[in-house]
Structure 1
Amino acid sequence: MSQSASVPSDHIPDISDFCPENWTINFVNEGAANLVFEVGLPPGIPSTAGSHRKRGHDIFQGNLLRVPKAGAKTFPYPELQQYWESTVTPLFPEENLVQQQLVRLGHSPSKVISRLDELLIKEESRRRKDFRGTRVLPDAQYGMLIEDMRSQNTSDLFLEFKPKWLSPSPSQRTRCRNCAREAYRDHLDPSHHKAHRLGILCPLDFLACRDSPQSLDSVLKHILPASSSPAQRNHLLNWLKTNTLLPLLQKVQSEHDPSSGVNLELSMTLRDCSLFLRISSPSEESMKIEAKLADLDKKNATKKKDHWEELERNLVEGGFYDGKETPREETDCLLERN
């Protein structure tokens, strides 16, 4: 899908003004629709747009560059940014959202795209097998600067996870929607059943951490790396028991339940977002946690509505919400434990 769109350009930075051939770039990550890079500008490299020189050398500081991937059928970046600003940001405090900004890839963006594609070719062996060979959308006109939530120094701890469906579906009984879906996936593919069935965290445990030691232990086991320090573990434990972000996300999900059929794209966006946690400090006394939501792109409800409805129908009619499927799949759902 073309990334062109009619948007005002006077307030949108043009990153091609800042000499792409002189960038230092690193490949960071990718998904089915986007590629993410770390970009640096060497000191003393002038901008071709003098009035933007200082702005240009600051623009990548603390940010990553995200660009659309060729072949991905997603909305144009200007539309994604407008949706994020008008629909998503009013739901959460600014400090709880990974900030993003639309940028132009240039009036002739081939310089930027070629530079990024060159790196992808060099990094091919590092990429996921099913993503190898894909490149930047050749006619992309826009990218995004995304706030970099990775570790800022070696003492930081960075965590990323998907909270998923914190608000239970009205149709559920014995299992939450996420665990019902996982049981359905195991049912369809018995080959990974035994290794997979108890390896999935029930998202309801995130909110149960406040009162349930078992839920707290389960969450820590799933999201905390073995390399973390005792101080980081204790700080994360306290955050899980006292944070306000996950309860707020649950509230917002409840207010936009997909069964209502109203604004289905927002309902599914809120259930597929990621949560980034950065625990940073040289000492336990001043340790700080930053918690921010990301991956809040607009979903294509027109394209996915039939798939979502078919999946929900299979979960209900197949008995996966009730644990009555045959043969019965074992899960670690909080509702089954209680």
Structure 2
Amino acid sequence: MVSIRLTQDEMHHLLEEQGNGQTRCCVQATNATPAGSHVTFGYLNKGAANVIFKIRPETSTVATRFQFVDILSKDKKTGVATSVPHRSLMGRVLRVPRGGQKHLSSLEILHGFEHAIRPLFLSGPRNKPQQPARDLTKHLMDHEGVLLLPDVMSHLYTRVEKHTFATPQSRRKCWGILLPDMSPTPGTSITLEVKPKWLAQSPNAPAGAIRCRTCAMHVSVPKKRDNYICPLQLLHGNSSSLLPWSQATVSQQFDSNTGKEVRPSPVVIAALVKALVDYLTIGDGLALLQHLLNLQSSLDPRGVLCRPKINAEAFDHNLRLAMTLRDCSMFIKVAYDKAGVTGIESKLGDLDFKSAEKIVDWMDKERGLLLDGSYTKNVKEGPVCWLQRGLGV
């Protein structure tokens, strides 16, 4: 670890931030920056609210370089910081908010994750249905806040398409979030993104519904359904019922590859397919899906249309948690070599605690599904729901 001294301008931005604990910052590198701390950023992908950048080590003396530093509370007035070696940042990505008016800031996301979401996955007494009997936090992505100073933000604006960020300002600082990198590594791992969505039927669904809430939404608002799987089938299906979906999903990882990676042998492909099926039917993936089901059902037993007109605070809080868990992504990373599968793990992403402002929209969507008959009507085009087994629909 090497100590460096921040500039007066960097100190000014740091002192504007609240809090007395240790702060991790990203600043522009200088000639005094240790070579082992130089990093650059590469665009990875973006969503409606955030942009994801890959962190790369940089040894070139030409490229624009940055460094991560840690500042202890006792050093915030002196400007002394500890340079963070880039090797400790490998395997992580940087998530930066796009700055939309209705989007949460990184600090709001961090607070919601730590105080509302994470406790739901900690082991607790068996008489508390919202807590698992064992610790499931291994399935959560560690969130670490990092202060991005203006020079960093100005550079990140240049790494994406124009208008990606809502209000680009050359002297704007921003809090970002460091997250585990779940992207695949060609030749050694694949990453599958599964959207568990509603793992139980909506409490407001009509009697005689032939579709779950997620499949009904696909009928109401037709969407691209490549390798779509009904959430109830994902949760309750056995090896044989999940096998076709698993084969298509794994195969797509290599069919879409545009690089020079050699497609694994049929034996390895078969091993990847089996590993995914086993993970979701008898492995840790099943335990995670069952926990999400229990949380969704216990937090929202009545449905958004049964919201009380008075004293709705507790109802709203639990509903927001349930809807957060219905909108998360399950990233499953499967490692392999020439002999077969060497490991499998999953992490939940997109766990930003939903805002109360969305409740009206959720009510409108549920009413819309009921009015247009999406739960019950027969349609020629639409997803096959697990509820339709044996109904001849």
Question: After TM superposition, is the score higher than 0.5?
Answer: yes
Question: Paired residue for 1:204?
Answer: 232
Question: Paired residue for 1:287?
Answer: 342
Structure 2 length-normalised TM = 0.70
Greater helix share, structure number: 1
Q: SS of 2:203's equivalent?
A: coil
Alpha-carbon RMSD: 3.1
8 Å Cα contact 1:232-1:279 kept in structure 2: yes
Pairing of 1:94-105 with structure 2 (within 5 A): 94-105=137-148
Deviation at 1:50, TM superposition (A): 6.4
Question: Paired residue for 2:115?
Answer: 86
Question: Paired residue for 1:239?
Answer: 279
Asked if 1:296 is matched to 2:351, the reply is yes
Look up the equivalent residue of 1:104 and give its one-letter code: L
Deviation at 1:315, TM superposition (A): 1.1
CA distance in 1, matches of 2:333, 2:225: 29
Question: Paired residue for 2:125?
Answer: none
Deviation at 1:280, TM superposition (A): 0.9
CA distance in 2, matches of 1:37, 1:14: 16
Greater strand share, structure number: 2
Taking every aligned residue pair, what percent have the same amino acid on both sides?
30
Asked if 1:184 is matched to 2:220, the reply is yes
Report the count of equivalent residues.
308
8 Å Cα contact 1:38-1:64 kept in structure 2: yes
Asked if 1:134 is matched to 2:164, the reply is yes
Q: Can you list the C-alpha shifts for 1:144-193, whole angstroms capped at 9, x where unaligned?
A: 1011112245221111121111121123322100111111114xxxxx8x
With 89-98 and 258-267 compared, the bigger mean Cα shift is at: 258-267
CA distance in 2, matches of 1:316, 1:332: 19
Look up the equivalent residue of 2:190 and give its one-letter code: L
With 252-261 and 30-39 compared, the bigger mean Cα shift is at: 252-261
Gap change, CA 1:220 and 1:246, over 3 Å in 2: farther
CA distance in 2, matches of 1:33, 1:297: 10
CA distance in 2, matches of 1:328, 1:252: 34
Asked if 1:42 is matched to 2:58, the reply is yes
CA distance in 1, matches of 2:98, 2:45: 12
Deviation at 1:278, TM superposition (A): 0.7
**Structure 1: unaligned runs, 5 residues or longer:** 125-131, 187-191
Q: Can you list the C-alpha shifts for 1:66-93, whole angstroms capped at 9, x where unaligned?
A: 1111435212211110110111111222
Asked if 1:167 is matched to 2:200, the reply is yes
Asked if 1:217 is matched to 2:217, the reply is no
CA distance in 1, matches of 2:388, 2:355: 33
CA distance in 2, matches of 1:288, 1:73: 39
Deviation at 1:312, TM superposition (A): 0.3
CA distance in 1, matches of 2:104, 2:186: 35
Structure 1 length-normalised TM = 0.80
CA distance in 1, matches of 2:246, 2:273: 12
CA distance in 1, matches of 2:246, 2:341: 24
CA distance in 1, matches of 2:273, 2:251: 7
CA distance in 1, matches of 2:251, 2:324: 25
8 Å Cα contact 2:99-2:105 kept in structure 1: no
Look up the equivalent residue of 1:312 and give its one-letter code: E
**Structure 2: unaligned runs, 5 residues or longer:** 1-15, 70-78, 122-135, 255-263, 308-314
Find the structure with the greater CA-based Rg.
Answer: 2
CA distance in 2, matches of 1:222, 1:63: 25
Look up the equivalent residue of 1:235 and give its one-letter code: A
Pairing of 1:1-338 with structure 2 (within 5 A): 7-8=18-19, 10-16=21-27, 18=29, 23-42=39-58, 51-53=81-83, 55-92=84-121, 93-105=136-148, 109-120=149-160, 124=161, 133-135=163-165, 138=169, 139-152=172-185, 154-172=187-205, 173-186=209-222, 200-210=228-238, 213-218=240-245, 220-222=247-249, 225=252, 227=254, 229-243=269-283, 244-257=287-300, 258-259=303-304, 261=307, 262=315, 263=317, 264-282=319-337, 287-302=342-357, 304-323=358-377, 330-338=382-390
Q: SS of 2:27's equivalent?
A: helix
